[in-house]
Chain A
């Protein structure tokens, strides 16, 4: 805690700079480490050096030449995008209703979705494992997309309804007075204003789906729907005696790239999205 008021002295600036560097180091060192591993040659992989002594792209070339990884990457991207799209569309509809409309069962819906958000995912894995095997959804894209949507929906509804509440309520009344039906009020006034919030929510939901490991490892069994986090944990290297460390590190870096891009470009939005619900408390 800095003192309140007073001039910004160079001393205080320096102190903050040191603190900030500590924070940045805290956040980045483990990431840089995995990046460093991914560029290390086979020979220097086990030297324990933080910075590679010899640089190579072999690890990346190796993973992109295996169907195991490429297929998993396609699965990851496809599944996360579809789940995000569906969850955001349905979440937007529900959040609009919750924030703006009066209808029976509204509180119940909020309560139940909050319950799901706090739910231990493992509790769903056992019944879903059995249900999906029976329905033929096991080890398919929909078999993962469905639980992702389910767990992303509460996140989407919660974040979006916080955004929607910030849209001035009178605008909708104004639209009605201007002759709009509730549907038109939504499409022409609220939706354009809500777009930034929807976009932010989409990022958060995508990160959630991209991140999942438990469902992906429990509800898949082959390359047909295995996502990258799961594929990573099954990497064994091209031969049985080969150390997979380099491949794992390279694959890990590849799936970290979208996250880094999101964070770089949408830092403000992500912070706003994550904190919007909490302030309500």
Chain B
């Protein structure tokens, strides 16, 4: 049967010049495509592309707005300054800690929430509507709610759980509260992405597994999780990158005091408060690199399942 699939496709290709003749319709399509994308491309290039290059340039300068006349090109000096600075490394570890803990907890909590939203027998609409509130609410508003909840005397949590201690003034408890706030706000988003994955698991597959003697837990780990793995990875990637840039919650809850700064917070302080554009830009570039590394690792894990990898729905 080796010659079974012999088709004409195996024959030598036609000379390439043949395809040079694009019909009018095809050319119109290309023109329209580029035309429609032009505004989006221009804005993204001007407001994201150009500034990124510019910040690379700034990061190689000594540039402090408090001493503008001492501006000069210093090469990698800023990078040496930042990378040998304990505050930077502290901020990095705080950021990593918050990211890892919040994403890990969110994965578990989000999965539970997704299962509830997906399978609940009653009140599906109410559950979905209320879980969207944390997603939609302004982060600063939520952060204030948590701040007042943990404020001694004012807050319901401070009095009941913390026993009246000012938790936000100590490093580790403060980081825990920040992480908690982050988890509360973004678990619904994680759950929605996971729910999209759950919808892809065919009911028949679960029935078949049940007939094959799989327990509920086995059906979850052996059938559901493998099938929804791409959705899980997408959710993890989105949330990891998002958690890594944590800023709003920290700003409101601790303002970065007691060594609770994240890298974004530290950069902001150097830049807007310290007006040191050189150092600020250097930190920006370093954060960008860190995010790129995270994304790269995830994309390696994804393989072909990377979002946007489907290259358009034609044909």
Touch test A–B (CB under 8 Å):
yes
Interface residues of A (CB under 8 A from B): 1-5, 8, 12-13, 16-17, 19-20, 23-24, 26-28, 30-31, 33-34, 37, 45-50, 90-91, 93-94, 96-107, 109-114, 116, 118-131, 146-147, 149-150, 153-154, 157-158, 165, 169, 176, 181-183, 207, 210-211, 213-214, 217-218, 228-229, 232-233, 245, 248-249, 252-253, 255-256, 259-260, 262-264, 267, 270-271, 274-281
Instruction: Give the residues in chain A near B168, CB-CB below 8 Å.
Output: none
Q: Are A256 and B43 in contact (CB under 8 A)?
A: no
A99, A123, A233: most-surrounded residue (chain B CB, <10 A): A123
- B256 on interface, CB distance cutoff 8 Å: no
Q: Are A130 and B30 in contact (CB under 8 A)?
A: no
Q: Are B51 and A279 in contact (CB under 8 A)?
A: no
Known pairs A94-B37, A153-B40, A165-B313; A128 contacts B47 (CB<8 A): yes
Q: Are A125 and B268 in contact (CB under 8 A)?
A: yes
Instruction: Give the residues in chain A near B132, CB-CB below 8 Å.
Output: 263, 267, 270-271
- B171 on interface, CB distance cutoff 8 Å: no
Q: Is the interface of B mostly helix, strand, loop or mixed?
A: helix
Q: Are A23 and B116 in contact (CB under 8 A)?
A: yes
**Shortest distance from the beta carbon of A232 to any chain B beta carbon, whole Å:** 6
Residue-wise interface mask of B (37-56) relative to A, using a CB-CB cutoff of 8 A (1 in contact, 0 not):
10111011011101110110
Question: In whole angstroms, what is the CA distance A31 to B63 when docked?
Answer: 43
* Contact among A33, A127, A228 for B52, CB-based, below 8 A: A127
Q: Are B231 and A278 in contact (CB under 8 A)?
A: yes
Question: In whole angstroms, what is the CA distance A93 to B189 when docked?
Answer: 27
Q: Are B196 and A126 in contact (CB under 8 A)?
A: no
Closest to B305 in A: A281
Question: In whole angstroms, what is the CA distance A128 to B39 when docked?
Answer: 20
Instruction: Give the residues in chain B near A103, CB-CB below 8 Å.
Output: 29-30, 32-34, 37
Of residues 131 to 156 in B, which have CB atoms within 8 Å of A's CB atoms?
A: 131-142, 144-146, 148-149, 153-156
**Shortest distance from the beta carbon of A106 to any chain B beta carbon, whole Å:** 6
Question: In whole angstroms, what is the CA distance A278 to B121 when docked?
Answer: 25
**Shortest distance from the beta carbon of B203 to any chain A beta carbon, whole Å:** 8
Q: Are B127 and A24 in contact (CB under 8 A)?
A: yes
Interface size on B, residues (CB 8 A): 119
Instruction: Give the residues in chain A near B115, CB-CB below 8 Å.
Output: 1
Known pairs A150-B48, A274-B189; A101 contacts B29 (CB<8 A): yes
Q: Are B123 and A17 in contact (CB under 8 A)?
A: yes
Sample of 17 A–B contacts (CB below 8 Å): A37-B145, A48-B155, A49-B156, A107-B312, A122-B247, A122-B263, A123-B291, A125-B267, A126-B271, A150-B47, A181-B28, A217-B268, A233-B252, A252-B138, A267-B128, A275-B192, A275-B195
Q: Are A232 and B144 in contact (CB under 8 A)?
A: yes
Q: Are A274 and B193 in contact (CB under 8 A)?
A: yes
Instruction: Give the residues in chain A near B135, CB-CB below 8 Å.
Output: 274
Q: Are A130 and B268 in contact (CB under 8 A)?
A: no
Question: In whole angstroms, what is the CA distance A112 to B129 when docked?
Answer: 33
Instruction: Give the residues in chain B near A113, CB-CB below 8 Å.
Output: 40, 44
Question: In whole angstroms, what is the CA distance A40 to B77 when docked?
Answer: 53
Instruction: Give the residues in chain A near B260, CB-CB below 8 Å.
Output: none
Q: Are B310 and A50 in contact (CB under 8 A)?
A: no
Q: What 9 A-B pairs have minimum CB-CB distances, sorted nearest first?
A: A103-B33, A275-B196, A127-B51, A101-B33, A127-B55, A150-B47, A93-B36, A97-B36, A252-B141
Q: Are A263 and B291 in contact (CB under 8 A)?
A: no
Question: In whole angstroms, what is the CA distance A182 to B142 when docked?
Answer: 46
* Contact among A16, A46, A169, A277 for B122, CB-based, below 8 A: A16
Q: Are A101 and B32 in contact (CB under 8 A)?
A: yes
Instruction: Give the residues in chain B near A123, CB-CB below 8 Å.
Output: 52, 55, 284-285, 287-288, 291
Known pairs A120-B244, A123-B52; A259 contacts B29 (CB<8 A): no
In the complex, besides A28-B130, A30-B142, A48-B155, 4 extra interface pairs with C-beta distance below 8 angstroms are A125-B284, A213-B251, A278-B192, A280-B310
Closest to A111 in B: B308
Question: In whole angstroms, what is the CA distance A113 to B154 when docked?
Answer: 44
Q: Are A183 and B32 in contact (CB under 8 A)?
A: yes
Question: In whole angstroms, what is the CA distance A218 to B141 when docked?
Answer: 18
Q: Are A34 and B145 in contact (CB under 8 A)?
A: yes
Q: Are B121 and A12 in contact (CB under 8 A)?
A: yes
**Shortest distance from the beta carbon of B37 to any chain A beta carbon, whole Å:** 5
Q: Are B313 and A99 in contact (CB under 8 A)?
A: yes
Instruction: Give the residues in chain B near A157, CB-CB below 8 Å.
Output: 40
Known pairs A116-B48, A256-B137; A126 contacts B145 (CB<8 A): no
Instruction: Give the residues in chain B near A5, CB-CB below 8 Å.
Output: 207
Question: In whole angstroms, what is the CA distance A122 to B250 when docked?
Answer: 14
Q: Are B36 and A96 in contact (CB under 8 A)?
A: yes
Question: In whole angstroms, what is the CA distance A118 to B126 when docked?
Answer: 31
Known pairs A30-B149, A48-B153, A127-B51; A4 contacts B210 (CB<8 A): yes
Known pairs A28-B133, A213-B139, A245-B154; A126 contacts B113 (CB<8 A): no
Closest to A259 in B: B136
Closest to B156 in A: A50
Q: Are A207 and B287 in contact (CB under 8 A)?
A: no
Instruction: Give the residues in chain B near A91, CB-CB below 8 Å.
Output: 40
Q: Are B264 and A120 in contact (CB under 8 A)?
A: yes
Known pairs A122-B284, A125-B284, A281-B234; A262 contacts B307 (CB<8 A): no
Q: Are B154 and A281 in contact (CB under 8 A)?
A: no
Instruction: Give the residues in chain B near A33, CB-CB below 8 Å.
Output: 145, 148-149, 156
Of residues 260 to 280 in B, which have CB atoms within 8 Å of A's CB atoms?
A: 263-264, 267-268, 271-272, 277, 280
